[in-house]
Chain A
């Protein structure tokens, strides 16, 4: 697992370094365990029984097991984009769908592929397809994103981020 210190020292990914069709480095999480799910439920105080009570999940709701929370998935994709952009880029836009359930035992691969890039107002905008793939190759969270990367020799990505005009 990448440490916070390693992330702080991470080499910057520049706009110049990415090309359309390029696969970004994946983030693999898992196998998921009930402990992962319970920890998230506790952290955000989500006490729905489908997230920690296996009998309820299986026999009441007819699920395959306790389920990873949608809000957990919503935290992982921005984290992945943030890690791609560190230290000086910005994960600007993200949208995705919840398409499949994640249960303990599943291993998740977060991935992204460059679908386009453009310079706007001196900033490097990179469009991505993004997702969260199960070990069974079922895509649980297909979506799209736009990240902003610095251009070599160009201006700094503003922080706090200010969207470029016309983007």
Chain B
């Protein structure tokens, strides 16, 4: 299993209601038992960051494509600091 960050643009997701429609329900972020969109961040410059935990990068790419993302980059995560806790990812 791996973990990736995608940066890109997601048309319409600047609107919070649309953002919620695409991400709130469990089946929107828990794609299948092996693929989870763990976080999506909307930046003020119009871009988005999405984090995915999945068996293969292709699983994440399929989700991004399905949602019409214009992807700038997809990169594996090495480690994370979150509110003072450090997690080694790969």
Binding site for B on A (CB under 8 A): 31, 55-56, 58-60, 62, 64-65, 100-101, 103-107, 135-136, 138
Which residues of chain B have C-beta atoms less than 8 A from A105's C-beta? 25-26, 30
> Distance (Å) between the CB of A31 and the closest chain B CB?
7
Interface size counted on chain B using CB atoms at 8 A: 16
Q: Are A55 and B30 in contact, with the CB atoms below 8 A? A: no
B11-19, B40-48, B60-68, B81-89 - interface stretch: B81-89
| Alpha-carbon distance A62/B55, docked complex (angstroms) | 11
Which residues of chain A have C-beta atoms less than 8 A from B36's C-beta? 58, 64-65
> Distance (Å) between the CB of B35 and the closest chain A CB?
9
Q: Are A135 and B1 in contact, with the CB atoms below 8 A? A: no
> Which of B26, B30, B38, B85 has the largest number of chain A CB atoms within 10 A?
B26
Q: Are B80 and A59 in contact, with the CB atoms below 8 A? A: yes
Q: Are B25 and A60 in contact, with the CB atoms below 8 A? A: no
Other contacts beyond A64-B30, A107-B26: 16, CB < 8 A: A31-B26, A56-B85, A58-B38, A58-B53, A59-B80, A59-B87, A62-B1, A65-B30, A101-B33, A103-B30, A104-B26, A105-B26, A105-B30, A135-B27, A136-B26, A136-B27
A-B contacts, 18 listed (Cβ < 8 Å): A31-B26, A55-B82, A55-B83, A55-B85, A55-B87, A58-B36, A59-B89, A60-B87, A62-B1, A62-B3, A64-B33, A64-B36, A65-B36, A101-B33, A105-B25, A106-B26, A135-B27, A136-B26
| Alpha-carbon distance A106/B82, docked complex (angstroms) | 25
Closest to A101 in B: B33
Closest to A64 in B: B36
Which residues of chain B have C-beta atoms less than 8 A from A136's C-beta? 26-27
> Distance (Å) between the CB of A114 and the closest chain B CB?
29
Which residues of chain A have C-beta atoms less than 8 A from B85's C-beta? 55-56, 59
Closest to B85 in A: A55
> Distance (Å) between the CB of A8 and the closest chain B CB?
34
> Which of A56, A103, A105, A135 has the largest number of chain B CB atoms within 10 A?
A105
Which residues of chain B have C-beta atoms less than 8 A from A62's C-beta? 1, 3, 53
Which residues of chain B have C-beta atoms less than 8 A from A135's C-beta? 26-27
| Alpha-carbon distance A59/B26, docked complex (angstroms) | 19
